[in-house]
Amino acid sequence: MTLGVVQKEIRVGLSQADVAAALGSPNIVTKDSADKETWVYDKIASEASYSASSAYGTILILGASTASGAASTTQKTLTVIIKFDDSKKVESFPYHTSKF
């Protein structure tokens, strides 16, 4: 599930079956006091990257080598809250995305 898929596939009036087909099973399902369902999709992704550089030099028989590198990790989250009306059709679908 990506934000692009949510924006492309989910729209007001869509049935629960169509939402499940587009996004899969939700992480959380709740019902309010009016018996309306809310589905929550929560996705966390980690991206790791590593860059390296090295140098090598030779003078006659002597050799020297150096290497250095840097690693970084990025976390991305996507939370989608899909609220359904009395007829089990999408009423609203606010979402939140973050990257840190």
Q: Which domain holds residue 45?
A: 3-99
Task: Give me the number of domains the chain comprises.
Answer: 1
The model's pTM is 0.74
What CATH number is attached to the domain comprising 94? 3.30.1450
> Does residue 86 come out as left (phi exceeding 0), alpha (psi in the -120 to 50 range) or beta?
alpha
pLDDT tens-digit series, residues 73-100: 899 999 999 999 999 999 999 999 999 8
CA distances from 84 to 22, 59, 81 (A): 16, 74, 10
The per-residue DSSP string of 55-100 comes to: EEEEETTEEEEEEEEEEEEEEEEEEEEEEE-TTSBEEE--EEEEE-
pLDDT of residue 31: 96
With a cut of 50, list the residues of the chain below it in pLDDT: none
